[in-house]
Homo-oligomer: A and B are copies of this chain.
Amino acid sequence: MAELLKGKPVGDLLDETTKIKVTMLKAKGITPTLAILRVGERQDDLSYERGATKRCEKNGVAVVNKILPDTCSQEELMTAIKELNEDDNVHGILMFRPLPKTLDEKAACNAILPSKDVDGITQGSMAYIYSGQGDGYAPCTSQAVMEILKFYGIDPKGKKATVVGRSLVIGKPVSMLLMNANATVTICHSRTENMEEVTQNADIVVAALGKAEMLGREYFKEGQTVIDVGINYSEEKQKLVGDVKLDEAEGVVSGITPVPGGVGSVTTAVLVSHVVEAAQKSAL
Protein backbone atom coordinates (compact mmCIF):
# COMPACT_ATOMS: atom_id res chain seq x y z
CA MET A 1 0.00 0.00 0.00
CA ALA A 2 1.11 3.52 -0.79
CA GLU A 3 2.39 5.83 1.89
CA LEU A 4 -0.23 8.49 2.62
CA LEU A 5 1.47 11.84 2.18
CA LYS A 6 -0.52 13.80 4.71
CA GLY A 7 -0.51 17.57 4.65
CA LYS A 8 -0.74 18.28 8.36
CA PRO A 9 2.94 17.70 9.29
CA VAL A 10 3.98 19.71 6.22
CA GLY A 11 1.86 22.66 7.29
CA ASP A 12 3.02 22.31 10.89
CA LEU A 13 6.66 22.45 9.88
CA LEU A 14 6.05 25.48 7.68
CA ASP A 15 4.40 27.10 10.69
CA GLU A 16 7.50 26.47 12.82
CA THR A 17 9.65 28.40 10.35
CA THR A 18 7.01 31.10 10.08
CA LYS A 19 6.85 31.55 13.87
CA ILE A 20 10.60 32.05 14.13
CA LYS A 21 10.49 34.68 11.40
CA VAL A 22 7.52 36.40 13.03
CA THR A 23 9.40 36.61 16.34
CA MET A 24 12.36 38.20 14.57
CA LEU A 25 10.12 40.68 12.74
CA LYS A 26 8.29 41.63 15.91
CA ALA A 27 11.62 42.32 17.59
CA LYS A 28 12.11 44.93 14.87
CA GLY A 29 8.67 46.39 15.58
CA ILE A 30 7.02 44.80 12.54
CA THR A 31 3.83 42.76 12.85
CA PRO A 32 3.30 40.82 9.63
CA THR A 33 -0.24 41.58 8.51
CA LEU A 34 -2.59 39.98 6.00
CA ALA A 35 -5.49 41.98 4.63
CA ILE A 36 -8.43 39.83 3.62
CA LEU A 37 -10.60 41.56 1.06
CA ARG A 38 -14.00 39.97 0.69
CA VAL A 39 -16.94 41.12 -1.42
CA GLY A 40 -20.24 39.66 -0.25
CA GLU A 41 -20.85 36.63 1.94
CA ARG A 42 -20.13 33.52 -0.15
CA GLN A 43 -19.93 30.38 1.98
CA ASP A 44 -16.68 29.24 0.30
CA ASP A 45 -15.06 32.59 1.06
CA LEU A 46 -16.22 32.61 4.67
CA SER A 47 -14.93 29.09 5.19
CA TYR A 48 -11.50 29.87 3.72
CA GLU A 49 -11.41 33.13 5.65
CA ARG A 50 -11.95 31.26 8.93
CA GLY A 51 -9.14 28.82 8.12
CA ALA A 52 -6.72 31.53 7.04
CA THR A 53 -7.51 33.72 10.04
CA LYS A 54 -6.99 30.82 12.44
CA ARG A 55 -3.64 29.99 10.83
CA CYS A 56 -2.54 33.63 10.98
CA GLU A 57 -3.46 33.86 14.67
CA LYS A 58 -1.60 30.64 15.44
CA ASN A 59 1.53 32.15 13.91
CA GLY A 60 1.29 35.66 15.33
CA VAL A 61 0.32 37.21 12.00
CA ALA A 62 -2.30 39.96 12.19
CA VAL A 63 -5.40 39.98 9.99
CA VAL A 64 -7.20 43.05 8.74
CA ASN A 65 -10.66 42.40 7.29
CA LYS A 66 -11.95 44.61 4.53
CA ILE A 67 -15.51 43.60 3.70
CA LEU A 68 -17.59 45.14 0.95
CA PRO A 69 -21.24 44.38 0.17
CA ASP A 70 -21.84 42.42 -3.04
CA THR A 71 -23.63 45.48 -4.33
CA CYS A 72 -20.46 47.61 -4.14
CA SER A 73 -19.28 49.55 -7.18
CA GLN A 74 -16.04 48.97 -9.09
CA GLU A 75 -14.86 52.32 -7.78
CA GLU A 76 -15.41 51.31 -4.15
CA LEU A 77 -13.52 48.07 -4.75
CA MET A 78 -10.62 49.84 -6.48
CA THR A 79 -10.44 52.39 -3.66
CA ALA A 80 -10.28 49.59 -1.09
CA ILE A 81 -7.43 47.93 -3.01
CA LYS A 82 -5.60 51.24 -3.36
CA GLU A 83 -5.83 51.85 0.38
CA LEU A 84 -4.46 48.40 1.17
CA ASN A 85 -1.66 48.86 -1.38
CA GLU A 86 -0.67 52.16 0.22
CA ASP A 87 -0.93 50.96 3.82
CA ASP A 88 2.63 50.15 4.92
CA ASN A 89 1.26 48.09 7.80
CA VAL A 90 -0.36 45.66 5.36
CA HIS A 91 2.11 43.18 3.86
CA GLY A 92 -0.14 40.79 1.99
CA ILE A 93 -3.55 41.05 0.34
CA LEU A 94 -5.87 38.10 -0.18
CA MET A 95 -8.86 38.95 -2.36
CA PHE A 96 -11.51 36.26 -2.70
CA ARG A 97 -12.73 35.26 -6.13
CA PRO A 98 -14.90 34.95 -8.05
CA LEU A 99 -16.13 38.49 -7.50
CA PRO A 100 -19.80 39.30 -8.19
CA LYS A 101 -20.34 39.46 -11.96
CA THR A 102 -21.14 43.17 -11.78
CA LEU A 103 -17.45 43.82 -11.06
CA ASP A 104 -14.39 43.76 -13.34
CA GLU A 105 -12.37 41.00 -11.69
CA LYS A 106 -9.28 41.30 -13.91
CA ALA A 107 -8.98 45.03 -13.26
CA ALA A 108 -9.31 44.41 -9.54
CA CYS A 109 -6.69 41.62 -9.53
CA ASN A 110 -4.20 43.68 -11.45
CA ALA A 111 -4.67 46.67 -9.17
CA ILE A 112 -3.08 44.70 -6.31
CA LEU A 113 0.63 45.40 -5.90
CA PRO A 114 2.56 42.26 -6.98
CA SER A 115 4.76 42.70 -3.89
CA LYS A 116 1.62 42.20 -1.73
CA ASP A 117 0.01 39.61 -4.00
CA VAL A 118 0.49 36.64 -1.65
CA ASP A 119 -1.82 34.32 -3.61
CA GLY A 120 -0.35 35.06 -7.03
CA ILE A 121 -3.37 36.46 -8.88
CA THR A 122 -1.88 39.56 -10.56
CA GLN A 123 -0.29 39.78 -14.01
CA GLY A 124 2.91 40.74 -12.18
CA SER A 125 2.92 37.49 -10.19
CA MET A 126 2.23 35.54 -13.35
CA ALA A 127 5.20 37.13 -15.11
CA TYR A 128 7.27 36.34 -12.01
CA ILE A 129 6.27 32.68 -11.96
CA TYR A 130 6.89 32.35 -15.68
CA SER A 131 10.12 34.30 -15.92
CA GLY A 132 11.60 34.28 -12.43
CA GLN A 133 11.94 38.05 -12.74
CA GLY A 134 10.18 40.86 -10.89
CA ASP A 135 7.93 40.79 -7.83
CA GLY A 136 5.19 38.36 -6.97
CA TYR A 137 4.22 35.03 -5.47
CA ALA A 138 3.13 31.65 -6.76
CA PRO A 139 -0.50 30.73 -6.07
CA CYS A 140 -0.49 29.11 -2.62
CA THR A 141 -1.87 25.76 -3.77
CA SER A 142 0.84 25.33 -6.40
CA GLN A 143 3.51 26.01 -3.83
CA ALA A 144 1.82 23.66 -1.37
CA VAL A 145 2.51 20.86 -3.87
CA MET A 146 6.20 21.70 -3.81
CA GLU A 147 6.27 21.86 -0.01
CA ILE A 148 4.77 18.38 0.22
CA LEU A 149 7.37 16.95 -2.16
CA LYS A 150 10.14 18.64 -0.20
CA PHE A 151 8.85 17.46 3.18
CA TYR A 152 8.62 13.83 2.05
CA GLY A 153 12.09 13.93 0.51
CA ILE A 154 11.03 13.70 -3.11
CA ASP A 155 13.45 15.86 -5.10
CA PRO A 156 11.96 16.62 -8.55
CA LYS A 157 15.43 17.15 -10.06
CA GLY A 158 15.96 14.89 -13.05
CA LYS A 159 12.59 13.22 -12.50
CA LYS A 160 9.70 13.11 -14.93
CA ALA A 161 6.67 15.01 -13.67
CA THR A 162 3.29 14.98 -15.37
CA VAL A 163 0.80 17.68 -14.47
CA VAL A 164 -2.82 16.99 -15.40
CA GLY A 165 -4.54 20.34 -15.90
CA ARG A 166 -3.39 23.68 -17.31
CA SER A 167 -5.28 26.24 -15.24
CA LEU A 168 -3.71 29.50 -14.10
CA VAL A 169 -4.57 28.64 -10.51
CA ILE A 170 -2.68 25.37 -10.38
CA GLY A 171 -1.70 23.52 -13.58
CA LYS A 172 0.46 26.20 -15.16
CA PRO A 173 2.14 27.53 -12.00
CA VAL A 174 2.93 24.08 -10.60
CA SER A 175 4.44 23.14 -13.97
CA MET A 176 6.72 26.17 -13.76
CA LEU A 177 7.69 25.40 -10.14
CA LEU A 178 8.47 21.78 -11.01
CA MET A 179 10.53 22.91 -14.00
CA ASN A 180 12.41 25.40 -11.81
CA ALA A 181 13.13 22.45 -9.52
CA ASN A 182 14.69 20.73 -12.56
CA ALA A 183 11.97 18.17 -13.26
CA THR A 184 11.22 17.27 -16.87
CA VAL A 185 7.62 18.42 -16.97
CA THR A 186 4.77 17.27 -19.21
CA ILE A 187 1.47 19.14 -19.11
CA CYS A 188 -1.71 17.21 -19.93
CA HIS A 189 -5.19 18.57 -20.51
CA SER A 190 -8.57 17.79 -22.01
CA ARG A 191 -7.07 17.41 -25.51
CA THR A 192 -4.33 15.02 -24.46
CA GLU A 193 -4.58 11.64 -26.15
CA ASN A 194 -3.76 8.40 -24.33
CA MET A 195 -3.43 10.24 -21.06
CA GLU A 196 -2.96 6.98 -19.14
CA GLU A 197 0.27 6.46 -21.04
CA VAL A 198 1.47 10.00 -20.28
CA THR A 199 0.74 9.77 -16.55
CA GLN A 200 2.17 6.24 -16.32
CA ASN A 201 5.38 7.54 -17.88
CA ALA A 202 6.00 9.96 -14.98
CA ASP A 203 7.74 9.65 -11.61
CA ILE A 204 5.55 12.36 -10.12
CA VAL A 205 1.91 12.93 -11.11
CA VAL A 206 0.11 16.12 -10.08
CA ALA A 207 -3.65 15.81 -10.57
CA ALA A 208 -5.31 19.19 -10.98
CA LEU A 209 -8.30 18.68 -13.24
CA GLY A 210 -10.99 19.57 -10.74
CA LYS A 211 -13.07 16.52 -11.67
CA ALA A 212 -14.10 14.07 -8.97
CA GLU A 213 -12.20 10.78 -9.09
CA MET A 214 -11.32 11.02 -12.79
CA LEU A 215 -8.02 9.16 -12.52
CA GLY A 216 -8.30 5.45 -11.69
CA ARG A 217 -5.85 2.58 -11.49
CA GLU A 218 -5.04 2.59 -15.22
CA TYR A 219 -3.35 6.00 -14.95
CA PHE A 220 -0.71 4.85 -12.49
CA LYS A 221 2.22 2.50 -12.07
CA GLU A 222 4.41 1.27 -9.25
CA GLY A 223 6.88 3.63 -7.64
CA GLN A 224 5.08 6.86 -8.48
CA THR A 225 4.35 9.80 -6.22
CA VAL A 226 0.88 11.24 -6.72
CA ILE A 227 -0.17 14.69 -5.52
CA ASP A 228 -3.91 15.10 -5.72
CA VAL A 229 -4.86 18.77 -5.81
CA GLY A 230 -8.56 18.20 -6.51
CA ILE A 231 -11.14 18.96 -3.84
CA ASN A 232 -14.55 17.91 -5.13
CA TYR A 233 -17.79 17.09 -3.39
CA SER A 234 -19.07 13.68 -4.41
CA GLU A 235 -22.87 13.53 -4.35
CA GLU A 236 -22.66 9.76 -4.55
CA LYS A 237 -20.30 9.36 -1.62
CA GLN A 238 -21.60 12.40 0.27
CA LYS A 239 -18.07 13.50 1.04
CA LEU A 240 -15.04 15.36 -0.32
CA VAL A 241 -12.96 13.44 -2.86
CA GLY A 242 -9.92 14.24 -5.00
CA ASP A 243 -9.31 14.00 -8.74
CA VAL A 244 -7.80 10.55 -8.15
CA LYS A 245 -9.60 7.36 -7.12
CA LEU A 246 -7.61 7.03 -3.91
CA ASP A 247 -8.69 3.46 -3.16
CA GLU A 248 -7.51 2.31 -6.60
CA ALA A 249 -4.31 4.37 -6.82
CA GLU A 250 -3.03 3.58 -3.34
CA GLY A 251 -2.79 -0.09 -4.22
CA VAL A 252 -0.39 0.74 -7.05
CA VAL A 253 1.73 3.80 -6.38
CA SER A 254 4.43 4.48 -3.83
CA GLY A 255 2.99 7.61 -2.20
CA ILE A 256 -0.20 9.66 -2.55
CA THR A 257 -1.78 12.66 -0.84
CA PRO A 258 -5.23 12.02 0.65
CA VAL A 259 -8.27 14.24 0.09
CA PRO A 260 -9.15 15.79 2.46
CA GLY A 261 -6.01 16.08 4.56
CA GLY A 262 -3.47 16.50 1.76
CA VAL A 263 -2.64 19.57 -0.31
CA GLY A 264 -5.57 21.57 1.09
CA SER A 265 -4.18 21.47 4.59
CA VAL A 266 -0.87 22.99 3.45
CA THR A 267 -2.31 25.89 1.45
CA THR A 268 -3.06 28.28 4.32
CA ALA A 269 0.36 27.57 5.86
CA VAL A 270 1.91 28.65 2.55
CA LEU A 271 -0.31 31.74 2.50
CA VAL A 272 0.90 32.78 5.95
CA SER A 273 4.52 32.11 4.97
CA HIS A 274 4.05 34.41 1.97
CA VAL A 275 2.75 37.19 4.22
CA VAL A 276 5.80 36.83 6.43
CA GLU A 277 8.10 36.80 3.40
CA ALA A 278 6.44 40.00 2.17
CA ALA A 279 6.91 41.57 5.62
CA GLN A 280 10.59 40.57 5.58
CA LYS A 281 11.07 42.14 2.16
CA SER A 282 9.31 45.33 3.24
CA ALA A 283 11.77 45.61 6.13
CA LEU A 284 14.83 45.50 3.87
Contact = CB atoms under 8 A, between A and B. Distances in A.
Interface of A: 106, 110, 123-124, 126-127, 129-131, 133-134, 157-158, 160, 166, 168, 172, 179, 182, 184-189, 191-193, 198, 201
Interface of A is mostly: mixed
A68 B204 CA distance: 50
Contacts of A160: 198
Contact of A186 (B130, B166, B172, B185): B185
A198 B184 contact: yes
30 contacts: A106-B133, A110-B134, A123-B124, A123-B127, A123-B131, A123-B133, A124-B127, A126-B126, A126-B127, A126-B131, A126-B133, A127-B130, A129-B130, A130-B130, A130-B172, A131-B168, A131-B172, A157-B191, A158-B193, A166-B179, A179-B187, A179-B189, A182-B191, A184-B187, A184-B188, A184-B189, A184-B193, A184-B198, A185-B187, A201-B201
Contacts of A106: 133
A188 to B, nearest CB: 6
A131 B166 CA distance: 10
Contacts of A179: 166, 187, 189
A134 B124 CA distance: 11
A130 to B, nearest CB: 4
Contacts of A129: 130
Nearest to A182: B191
Contacts of A182: 189, 191
B126 A192 contact: no
A157 B190 CA distance: 11
A191 B130 contact: no
Greatest chain B CB density within 10 A among A127, A187, A198 is at: A127
- Which 4 residue pairs of A and B lie closest in terms of their CB atoms, listed nearest first? A182-B191, A130-B130, A123-B127, A127-B127
Contacts of A130: 126-127, 129-130, 172
